[in-house]
Amino acid sequence: MLLSLLTRKEKLKFLDLAMHIVSIDGDPTAIETRLLNMLLAEVGDNIIKEYTFTLSSDLDETINYFIEASPHVQNIVYLNLLRVTMEDEFYNTDEHFFLESIRQQFSITEQKKKRLMKIVYQERDLKEHAKRVVKS
């Protein structure tokens, strides 16, 4: 969501963070892999051609890159990391702690976090509503 607004480098760095968060609990699940592919498609064809889903060796460098970014970019990155963690039905405390660490390092307030989470829930609700409508 809104990943197209990021620069090429921001998109690549975001995909690195997304890969790290889905790998927290081991290899990505089928649902996580599908979501990663959807995110890759959203960032654009030029990125698809050069990106491979592998973990970077320096997670701290990636996080520091976004700490220096504008709040606008940080909010887009955090929103999409929320989407990644909330896509499957399994709650992982390590993912929660990772997200919370990112939120604090990006200086995203608890109130902003709740507003971004609400967007993710609304998106999920809309998808579920669409599924019900097309099935009936």
Helix, strand, coil tally for the chain in percent (to 5): 75, 0, 25
**Residue 113's pLDDT is what?**
96
Render each residue's pLDDT in the chain as its tens digit; 136 residues.
899 899 989 998 999 999 888 888 777 778 778 888 888 888 877 777 777 666 777 889 999 999 999 999 999 999 999 998 887 767 678 888 999 999 999 999 999 999 999 999 999 899 899 999 999 8
CATH of 3-135, one of 1.10.3680.10, 2.60.40.10, 2.70.150.10, 3.40.630.30: 1.10.3680.10
Interatomic CA distance for residues 10 and 3, integer angstroms:
9
What Rg, from alpha-carbon coordinates, does the chain have?
15
